[in-house]
Amino acid sequence: LANQRNPLNAERNDEPGSRARDTQTKTGCWEKLHQSVPQYMLPKELHSVYLEKANCFPPPIFIILISIAELAVFIYYAVWKPQKQWVTLDEGIWNSPLTYRPDHRQEAWRFVSYMFVHAGVEHIVGNLLMQLLVGIPLEMVHKGFEVGMVYMAGVIAGSLASSIFDPFSGLVGASGGVYALLGGYFMNAIVVRGCIQFCSIKLHFLSIVGGDFGFALYRRFVAHDNLQVSFVAHLGGIAAGMTIGFVFFSAYNQKLLKDFRFWVCIAGYIVFLFFAVVYNIFISPAP
């Protein structure tokens, strides 16, 4: 009788619990992204540690600021030299003091500053999309210093590799840094998940990377422009990511200075820098 007399009260008593269950079952897009990152980068036993460490304190400010800076420079050149700037490379960007040019390689800042200028709207949109989607989740755990180190290692490795293997071509875009993040992320994913399973899950994302890489090859070998833009920075960035990035991102719960792999990668990177500097000063066939 008590249950029959107070059906509404029973429903009211269950209402908070049902709301809590509904809240638990409903997962937003950000939560899904947040929970999916450790699945493709870390062993299962470290997933909970990742989810505990991933936070916005401090916020992922490096990736956000570098993206804003790259977008601001692109808009500046698009407005300053509007002829075809929104679509393809033009003389305005080629003559920029930021662009890496083989005939101006004595201006050492160009080996880094080229990341701020882009060849067109499809170029910058692709780079920003990839570095935000990958960089923000990484920076939520590894924070700005480590992500910034990997990113800049890819930028420098990309320009130096381009100066060695494609010495007569210029260079624009942040692909070196972007592909360093991707290289570190994918290397961890392959080691943790296995190549076949990883590739089947991430085929949609790899298609974006393949499209960007294909466009870089088209711009270098097919497009009949007077301005040749190298694609080698992509490869240099991937190499930096699969070595330095792999160490940084796989040892996220350890002290890097105590990791032997860290010192091996640092030593290898320094040797590469030294060789590239000597090559550009004494051996390079570029003017």
Catalytic residue among 96, 162, 163, 175: 175
Contact 260, 201 (CB under 8 A): no
- Asked if residues 237 and 179 have their Cβ atoms less than 8 Å apart, the reply is yes
Catalytic residue among 123, 169, 234, 250: 234
Helices (H), the chain: 2-5, 7-25, 29-36, 47-53, 61-80, 91-94, 110-113, 121-165, 175-193, 195-201, 203-217, 232-240, 246-250, 260-278
- Among 279, 283, 285, smallest CA distance to 111 is for 279
Distance from C-alpha of 49 to C-alpha of 92, rounded to nearest angstrom: 48
Distance CA 20, CA 261 (A): 46
Q: Using alpha carbons, list the distances in angstroms from residue 224 to 90, 121, 130, 170.
A: 13, 19, 27, 15
Active site residue 234: yes
Is residue 67 part of the annotated active site? The answer reads: no
Distance CA 52, CA 47 (A): 9
Catalytic residues: 175, 234
